[in-house]
Amino acid sequence: MRPIPILALALALNAGLAGFAVADQPGPDWLPIDQVKKALMAEGYTEITKLEADDGHWDGEGIKNGQKMKFDADPKTGAILGEVAD
């Protein structure tokens, strides 16, 4: 085998996989996660089972009115931007 194509393939694969290793991080002006949980509890959630930074907002799952829900929350206020039954 020729070393140039193998090296090019290895570099391409490495570059493609590098995106998977980088997780979203909360911005410096975002509410801390514990305050977001408090805001969600005030909106009727009784349990938060997942809460993580994702594409500029908090993305999570929890229990509301006895039903499992998925939701997006505002990063600066914790207000629910959207929610759907899971």
Domain assignment present for 11? no
pLDDT averaged over every residue in the chain: 85
Q: Which pair of tokens denotes residue 49?
A: 């089972």
Q: Which CATH number do you get for residue 32?
A: 3.10.450.40
Q: What is the rounded CA–CA span in Å between residue 51 and residue 40?
A: 11
How much is the average pLDDT of 63-67? 98
pTM: 0.71
- Identify the pLDDT of residue 9: 52
Q: What is the count of structural domains for the chain?
A: 1
- Identify the pLDDT of residue 13: 55
How much is the average pLDDT of 2-8? 57
40 membership: H or E segment, kind and range: helix 33-42
**Domain range spanning residue 46?**
23-85
Return the residue matching tokens 């949980």: 37
**Residue 51, pLDDT above cutoff 90:** yes
Q: Which pair of tokens denotes residue 22?
A: 């980088």
Domain assignment present for 7? no
- Identify the pLDDT of residue 24: 86
